[in-house]
Amino acid sequence: MDDDIEALRTEVRHLIAMNAAAYVAITSLVATHPEPRQFHLHLVSALEGVLASERLARWTEEQKEIVRRVVETFQGVRPADPIDPLAGVGGRGPA
């Protein structure tokens, strides 16, 4: 029994870590999307479609609210400024 509980705790820790990694990756994708306005419109449409789907019909209201809050968090991500990958190299030119 103790082994089962510890295995579940380990799995929950792994799921939390994976969720954090996914959040970072998705936030970066949202911030650098070439068409932020289109992305946000699609996000709203997709959210409503998923929440009304048969797939989530048996989910609790709490679970559905979590989905809504997470997606709304991504809607708040603003476009990132372009990054110059060579900016850190300074004024060095070819030798």
The whole-number pLDDT of residue 91 equals 60
Place of tokens 């650098």: 32
∠ CA 51-53-15, rounded to 5°: 60
The whole-number pLDDT of residue 49 equals 94
The whole-number pLDDT of residue 86 equals 83
d(CA 65, CA 34): 29
| 8 A C-beta contact, residue 68 and residue 25 | no
**Rounded average pLDDT per 10-residue block, the chain, 95 residues:** 94 95 92 90 93 93 94 90 81 56
| 8 A C-beta contact, residue 25 and residue 33 | no
3-class secondary-structure state, position 68: helix
